[in-house]
Amino acid sequence: MKVLVIGNENRYKKYMPDVEIIKEADITFCTIGTSEEELIRQGKTAQVLLVDAIAPVSKNLIENLPNLQLIHSEGVGYNAIDIHTAKERGIYVCNNKGVNAGAVAEQTILLMLGLLRKVATGDMSVREGNQLKTKEKAMIEGITELADCKIGLIGFGDIAKATAKRLNPFECEIYYYSRTRLPKEIEDEFRVTYMELHELATTCDIISIHVPVTEETTGMINQEFLKKMKRTAYLVNTARGEIVDNEAVRQALIDGEIQGAGFDTVYPEPTTKDNILVNLPDEAADKVLFSPHIGGITSSTFFRAHENIWSNVEAVMNDQRPNYVVNGVLKIRRG
């Protein structure tokens, strides 16, 4: 069995489970950014393609790997994979659904608290010897507790559910929007209340994004949405950068249309210092808190993810359907 991996070799080896299927595999590792020509050369006979969640898998690449039976994202995201071409060729595309839900939920709440408590500027002020001055300013301006916030979750999949579960002990009001309202028993279980999207925007003190990247969600946090938000509200994105219109958020921060924003992911990746959300003018720079897209990369997440990946590889090699198929293929075409 030939396996082509597009991703970090050390990471894949660190988190590999001790299972027999790996001992049977001829694995070739290629880094993200390897040319398609080289990927095709290295993986010409590959039956399995394992890819970093942000690694592109194009129509051309898929069509030139004739033995391919499975493409598996290392993470939850799969928007960089041409799932339509894979479906046309009868190739499973799988992800690790829900594997990082708890980890990303923790990161989401960290950004919420970090914004409310101005953690980044507070840390800097202490390092610069301005602790007392900063404390006195905070007492005058006021600090909002998470318990006093109405939290709005856009989307209510695995990560949003994990976020709601972890927010409940903070005693804040939690609202959610999704295309389909959930049954009352699920709303009661997570102690959340449904709101239409426009009402969520106008009502909530913190808006947190938890939807995948699709044609519908790309750029959905735009000027129109931001103008509906409270001027005292915060935006948090631990989903994907493509969901946010960078220019619209930048202007909203500069004009004071929102209080601030927390980002674990910024489009495009890798995030560079000239990105318009990073390269803000001084009057808006301290309104934003960044983390380097680490929400879903805990050790536990990777161990769970790689156990699932190799379980799915084994299933496919045994002519069984793997779990978390995202492109609708019911059974691969052989021969």
What's the CATH code of the domain at 88? 3.40.50.720
**Please, how many CA atoms are within 13 Å of residue 161, restricted to the half-sphere of its CB?**
11
- At residue 332, the pLDDT reads 74
pTM of the model: 0.89
213 and 237 in one domain? Answer: yes
- At residue 331, the pLDDT reads 83
Tell me, yes or no, whether 335 lies in a domain.
no
- At residue 333, the pLDDT reads 66
Tell me, yes or no, whether 326 lies in a domain.
no
Three-point CA angle 231, 236, 242, nearest 5°:
110
81 and 168 in one domain? Answer: no
Provide the token pair at 21. 């299927």
118 and 193 in one domain? Answer: yes
Tell me, yes or no, whether 324 lies in a domain.
no
**Please, how many CA atoms are within 13 Å of residue 235, restricted to the half-sphere of its CB?**
36
Tell me, yes or no, whether 329 lies in a domain.
no
Cite the active site residues: 240, 269, 293
221 and 76 in one domain? Answer: no
Provide the token pair at 291. 């983390």
- Sheet-wide strand order for 173-177: 193-194, 173-177, 150-154, 206-209, 234-237, 260-263, 288-290
Tell me, yes or no, whether 262 lies in a domain.
yes
Tell me, yes or no, whether 142 lies in a domain.
yes
252 and 215 in one domain? Answer: yes
- At residue 334, the pLDDT reads 61
316 vs 22: CA distance, rounded Å: 13
286 and 144 in one domain? Answer: yes
135 and 206 in one domain? Answer: yes
89 and 27 in one domain? Answer: yes
Tell me, yes or no, whether 159 lies in a domain.
yes
Within the chain, which residues score under 50 in pLDDT? Answer: none
- At residue 335, the pLDDT reads 52
Q: Residue 121: which domain range?
A: 101-290
- At residue 222, the pLDDT reads 98
75 and 199 in one domain? Answer: no
237 vs 80: CA distance, rounded Å: 19
Tell me, yes or no, whether 178 lies in a domain.
yes
125 and 50 in one domain? Answer: no
Number of independent structural domains in the chain: 2
